[in-house]
């Protein structure tokens, strides 16, 4: 449904949603039939860049399933986490400075989250 003129834009509308396996299959099927990327984009109402990326990554996606991203590395190891919890449980009112001194690690509030 189109937005009314001068109406506020909702921040809840997702901008760049991922294609489903079915949609990827349609894009690859169009390309297999010999259609060019711009034509596929107009037929399916997708950005041309999305179609080109889908076609370039098609060999890496078995059965149209997206590969997961690596993600952000953890800030501390599981061993460090256990150490922190053991100290905090024995001394609940310990400060971050004292905790860092006991652990021998740089500790701040952002390190623990």
Cβ(48)–Cβ(38) under 8 Å? yes
What pLDDT does 5 receive? Answer: 72
Q: What is the pTM of this model?
A: 0.53
Buried b (16+ CB within 10 A) or exposed e, 39-48: ebbeeeebee
Domain ranges of the chain: 21-64, 78-111
Give the tens place of pLDDT for each residue, 68-93. Answer: 778 888 878 889 889 989 999 999 99
The interaxial angle of helices 37-44 and 48-57, nearest 10 deg, is 120
What pLDDT does 109 receive? Answer: 63
Give whole-number Cα distances, 95 to 83, 102, 105, in Å: 15, 11, 14
Q: Which helix (H) or strand (E) is 87 found in, with range?
A: helix 78-90
CA atoms within 13 A on the CB side of 91: 9
Give the tens place of pLDDT for each residue, 32-75. Answer: 999 999 999 999 989 999 999 999 998 888 887 877 778 888 87
């Amino acid at each position: 449904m189109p937005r009314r003129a001068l109406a506020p834009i909702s921040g809840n509308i997702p901008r760049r949603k991922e294609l489903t396996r079915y949609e990827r299959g349609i894009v690859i099927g169009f390309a297999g039939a010999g259609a060019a990327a711009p034509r596929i984009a107009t037929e399916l109402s997708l950005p041309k860049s999305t179609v080109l990326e889908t076609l370039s990554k098609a060999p890496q996606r078995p059965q149209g399933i997206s590969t997961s991203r690596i993600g952000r590395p953890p800030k501390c190891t599981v061993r460090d986490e256990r150490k922190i919890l053991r100290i905090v449980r024995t001394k609940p009112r310990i400060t971050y400075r004292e905790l860092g001194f006991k652990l021998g690690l740089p500790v701040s509030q952002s390190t623990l989250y």
